[in-house]
Structure 1
Amino acid sequence: MELKENQPDMPDPTGIDAYAAYLPAYALTDNRLDPTGPPRAGGPSRSVAAYDEDSITMAVEALRHLAAGTPAGRQLLLATCSAPYEGKTSAGVVHEALGLDPGVGAVDLRGHRAGATALDLVLRAGALAGLAEVRTTRPGAPDELAQGDAAAAFVGGGTAAAALLARAGHTVELLDRWRLPGDRHDRVWDERFTADVLVAAGLDAARRALAEAGLDGVDQVVVSSSNARAAATLRRALGGSGDDASIERATGFTGAAHPGLLLAAALDQARPGQTILLLSATEGADAFVLAVGDAVAAARRGPSVRAQLADRRQLGYGRYLRWRGLLDVQGPARPAAPAPASPPMHRRAGWKYRLEGSACGVCGAVTTPPGRICAACGATGSDGSGTVSLRDRTARVVSVTRDHLTTMPEPEVAIVVADVDGGGRLSAYATDVVPAEVTVGQPMTPTFRRLWTTDAIHNYFWKLRPTEESTDGQ
């Protein structure tokens, strides 16, 4: 095998075959507890996951359109600092919701540097990775609007989006951001000290990666760092244009998801043949030099990062605090929803996690939830019935009920009955929409969400959110 010049350890072309990003539907621009006027114009904003979202559900949303056909033997990675479970592999829930082959492994990567590690495994080992984060601070913290929620997804094994030219890393033990078991919020050391350490590590990794790639410069510089001072210094030193900084100002630092989010935004606007330096400076540094692939436009699955930013809705601070459980308010006088049990969750995994109905082999009707007997003609499973997933189909509302006694952190929620295009009927909560705005005939798309948590068990299922009937995904 002939080795490429300046790449002694790089066997075959490796890189990113497809990618996607997911930003929640909400943004917070004002965190004043007692506002006396409008928020400061042009101030930062943070991306906010809804009350029924977490790192699992956002990873599913980012991965759902690029995970199909992942062969056995590959690895599914979930990189996050905010895994919903400790001592249990959260990536397993993502795996089930995506309907992946059982031969695909599922692995959690934890910590702020986990996002860069996941990208490394995508680029060099062809892994499938979801980078997802929900970040909270104490109310009114100085960096509250500088933290945010997001997800990004990448699949390796090809170079349609980008090819890896070189990489370099620099590890340093640094008390920068950390959280003890049982803590809810990060603790942060003085950023003036940690910035100097991260800048030195970042410059070292970037220069070695560029030298290995045989380049003096690149077309785009993308810098992700847990330290805002370090990120700004590194962008100036490396000749960054500031496009990544504008994205960060609109989303906040999104933890383990951040290098993936910024890379997705760069690929959204990149042209084939251009070069990108991605530098993640967190607990050291990881630098990647990429060549943009010829099929980069087709490699994107779903809306661009900037399109999602433009489509967000503003969220009030009080509502945000209720969603995060940071403001204890009196709810309705009704008992908590029951916790799901392990045996039925396992037996009904096809319905619960993959939204599979049973398709009748006689009349073709789809029965939901799936059953042994067709709800339309009465045929049994012995007549050739199979399963069909409804998660990527459009459902149209046929009735709406507004629940004012919900145990969710909202004064009311909408429960809809919807007919699925191609067959099947769903009864589900509506999400990412004002209940009064849900109308009969409205098209909606299934989205994987957390219904509630009882007895330390997260109950995941599919809700419905409004959708635009467009097929171009732009």
Structure 2
Amino acid sequence: MFGITAYGAYIPRSRLSRTAIADANDWFDASLRGLAKGERSTCNWDEDTITMAVEAGQDCLSVLDADSVDTLYLASTTLPFLDRQNSVVVSQALNLGDRLRTMDVSASQRAATSALIAMLEAGHSDKRTAMLVASEHRRTRCGSRAEMLWGDGAAALGVGNENVIAEYLGSETYVNDFVDHYRGEDSTLDYEWEERWIRDEGYLKSVPQAASRLLEKVGVKAGDIAHFVLASDQAKTPLAVAKKLEIPAQAVVDNRIASMGVAGAAHPIVLLTAALETARPGELILLAGFGQGTDVVLFKATDQIGKRRPKTGFAGALERRRPDDNYNRFLSFNNLVERETGKRGELDKQSYLAAMYRRKDLLTAFIGGKCRECGTVQIPRDNYCVNPECGALDSQDDYPMSTIPGRVKTWTADRLTFDWNPPAYFGLVEFEGGGRLMMDFTEVEEGSIEAGVAVSLHFRIRQFDNQRGFRKYFWKATPSGQ
């Protein structure tokens, strides 16, 4: 048996009220008021496609053996680097080693489903596993329909032949250069075409074409589909497509437009994780990805479906939320306004690539050291053991610490130093089992941090080097209750 073996999801905590967006923009476009229901997920200033991919990957690895992963694909249309393999950064942050195949898959809203089909068709022998991570952080024009309906998020899947939770039954692709939107090489914002035309000429023709071919090929009736995943920011379109295919209306998976928005190329995989959480053994799941044609993939839930649930999953990620009605902060975090940052924000943050490479074990993988002589854990790793009663030379083995919980020993809230979301919180973190490190804190709500508070670690943007178009990543601590 071959198919999906694990899944994970991540949705940023911040949920911007759509009413706040409409309040700021309906003076120009009154129709936005009709979309002002619910909320959309929004990245913090130090989150992007890579950091969300790491979060989703960690959730997937909570039930998947990292040592078995030999392939990692990252699917997104909003990759931070155009000429640097983003999937390598994700793989090293996840401590997947240096003997795996990595690939970035982009340029279409069906990038994730196409990558998934490639993995499924390639197959994996023995106990090896392929991992797909899909992540999206799309920028939109102020006061646009897209700003109201889109959201940020990521999801991850494990693919292999051991502990299969959803058996792969087949796939089909219909290719058609139907341009519903596009983004040229000199633009950071999408240009979209008319909604009704996209529905009638796109979804209602492309998806049934591919799905009918697949169902006929595998000998499955449309009426037997229990979960139908079709990502779209058009609320009624998935139901219309299902009706045309004669798939039961109750099988259509909610697109979660009201609670998070549509996360672009990642959204089919995000919704698939939602379907996997509720599927029962024997139920059929039909996944569709739309963009210059359609991908469709058919799965059958196995008796393992309820036994391999991730630490957070889709429901947990959706529930972990912080309401926000500050539209100006959203604009600032997404560089949609030019904000005065003050003199301290003008400092040159040049990236010293040689130094970064030499310390990539700490900076990206967050690996400390554990002394073979006395068992002392320390971070950063050094030539000598920090235990004054030991002091052994070259005695430390690699000790991954990104998933180890810690506690705040000291902390400071600084409004003098520059931070994109002041005040800047930083302090000393002590890790369970040993090791201390001065770290930045992120997503701290006032009054939520004190000495002794438990923290978890998250891979985030540390600094932007805007002069050279580079961004530096490191791990930050977040109060665990948030």
Q: TM-score, normalised by structure 1?
A: 0.90
- Residue in 1 aligned with 2:450? 439
**CA 1:363–1:332: 2 relative to 1, 3 Å:** farther
SS state of the match for residue 74, structure 1?
A: strand
Matched, 1:22 2:18: no
SS state of the match for residue 307, structure 2?
A: helix
Contact 1:353–1:460, Cα closer than 8 Å, also in 2: yes
Cα separation, 1, equivalents of 2:411 and 2:251: 46
- Residue in 2 aligned with 1:466? 479
Matched, 1:150 2:153: yes
Cα separation, 2, equivalents of 1:218 and 1:34: 42
Q: CA deviation at 1:139?
A: 1.0
Q: CA deviation at 1:434?
A: 1.7
Contact 1:402–1:435, Cα closer than 8 Å, also in 2: no
Q: CA deviation at 1:392?
A: 0.5
Structure 1 segments unaligned to the other structure (5+ residues): 1-12, 470-474
Matched, 1:318 2:338: no
Q: CA deviation at 1:323?
A: 0.8
Q: 1:9-53 CA distances to partner (integer Å, 9 max, x unpaired)?
A: xxxx3210111111111111231354899x889814211111111
Q: CA deviation at 1:223?
A: 1.2
Q: Within 5 Å, which residues of 2 pair with 1:94-105?
A: 94-105=90-101
Matched, 1:206 2:215: no
2:53 equivalent among 56, 59, 74: 59
Q: CA deviation at 1:226?
A: 6.2
Q: Within 5 Å, which residues of 2 pair with 1:390-409?
A: 390-409=401-420
1:108 equivalent among 104, 110, 113: 104
2:257 equivalent among 234, 240, 248: 248
Matched, 1:282 2:282: no
Q: CA deviation at 1:146?
A: 0.8
Cα separation, 1, equivalents of 2:356 and 2:376: 25
2:22 equivalent among 22, 32, 39: 32
* Superposed structure 1 runs of 4+ greater than 6 Å apart: 39-42
Contact 1:73–1:105, Cα closer than 8 Å, also in 2: no
Q: CA deviation at 1:308?
A: 2.3
Contact 1:17–1:157, Cα closer than 8 Å, also in 2: yes
1:135 equivalent among 134, 138, 148: 138
- Residue in 1 aligned with 2:317? 308
Q: Within 5 Å, which residues of 2 pair with 1:366-445?
A: 366-377=377-388, 379=390, 382=393, 384-445=395-456
Q: CA deviation at 1:429?
A: 1.3
Cα separation, 1, equivalents of 2:392 and 2:444: 38
Q: CA deviation at 1:219?
A: 1.4
The aligned amino acid for 1:48 is T
Contact 2:226–2:251, Cα closer than 8 Å, also in 1: no
Q: 1:359-397 CA distances to partner (integer Å, 9 max, x unpaired)?
A: 122332222211111222275564632121110011100
Cα separation, 2, equivalents of 1:307 and 1:351: 29
Contact 1:149–1:254, Cα closer than 8 Å, also in 2: yes
- Residue in 2 aligned with 1:338? 349
Q: CA deviation at 1:464?
A: 0.8
SS state of the match for residue 205, structure 1?
A: helix
Cα separation, 2, equivalents of 1:150 and 1:168: 26
Q: More displaced, 82-91 or 152-161? A: 152-161
Contact 1:226–1:281, Cα closer than 8 Å, also in 2: no
**CA 1:440–1:41: 2 relative to 1, 3 Å:** farther
Q: CA deviation at 1:85?
A: 0.4
SS state of the match for residue 181, structure 1?
A: coil
Contact 2:9–2:60, Cα closer than 8 Å, also in 1: no
The aligned amino acid for 2:302 is G
Contact 1:136–1:147, Cα closer than 8 Å, also in 2: no
SS state of the match for residue 472, structure 2?
A: strand
Cα separation, 1, equivalents of 2:383 and 2:404: 23
Contact 2:405–2:431, Cα closer than 8 Å, also in 1: yes
SS state of the match for residue 225, structure 1?
A: coil
Q: CA deviation at 1:87?
A: 1.4
Q: CA deviation at 1:451?
A: 1.1
**CA 1:73–1:438: 2 relative to 1, 3 Å:** closer
The aligned amino acid for 1:142 is R
Identity of aligned residues (%): 28
1:291 equivalent among 292, 297, 300: 300
**CA 1:92–1:104: 2 relative to 1, 3 Å:** same
Q: CA deviation at 1:298?
A: 2.9
**CA 1:71–1:370: 2 relative to 1, 3 Å:** closer
Residue-pair matches, total = 456
Q: More displaced, 231-240 or 176-185? A: 231-240
- Residue in 1 aligned with 2:30? none
SS state of the match for residue 387, structure 1?
A: strand
Q: CA deviation at 1:235?
A: 3.5
**CA 1:384–1:220: 2 relative to 1, 3 Å:** same
Q: 1:141-162 CA distances to partner (integer Å, 9 max, x unpaired)?
A: 1221211110000111125220
Cα separation, 1, equivalents of 2:67 and 2:182: 36
Q: CA deviation at 1:137?
A: 0.6
Cα separation, 2, equivalents of 1:163 and 1:71: 22
**CA 1:340–1:61: 2 relative to 1, 3 Å:** same
Q: CA deviation at 1:281?
A: 2.1
The aligned amino acid for 1:32 is A
SS state of the match for residue 154, structure 1?
A: strand
Contact 2:448–2:479, Cα closer than 8 Å, also in 1: no
Contact 1:72–1:101, Cα closer than 8 Å, also in 2: no
Q: CA deviation at 1:230?
A: 4.0
* CA RMSD after TM alignment: 2.4
Cα separation, 2, equivalents of 1:221 and 1:369: 48
Q: 1:262-286 CA distances to partner (integer Å, 9 max, x unpaired)?
A: 0000001111111111122222111
Contact 2:225–2:248, Cα closer than 8 Å, also in 1: no
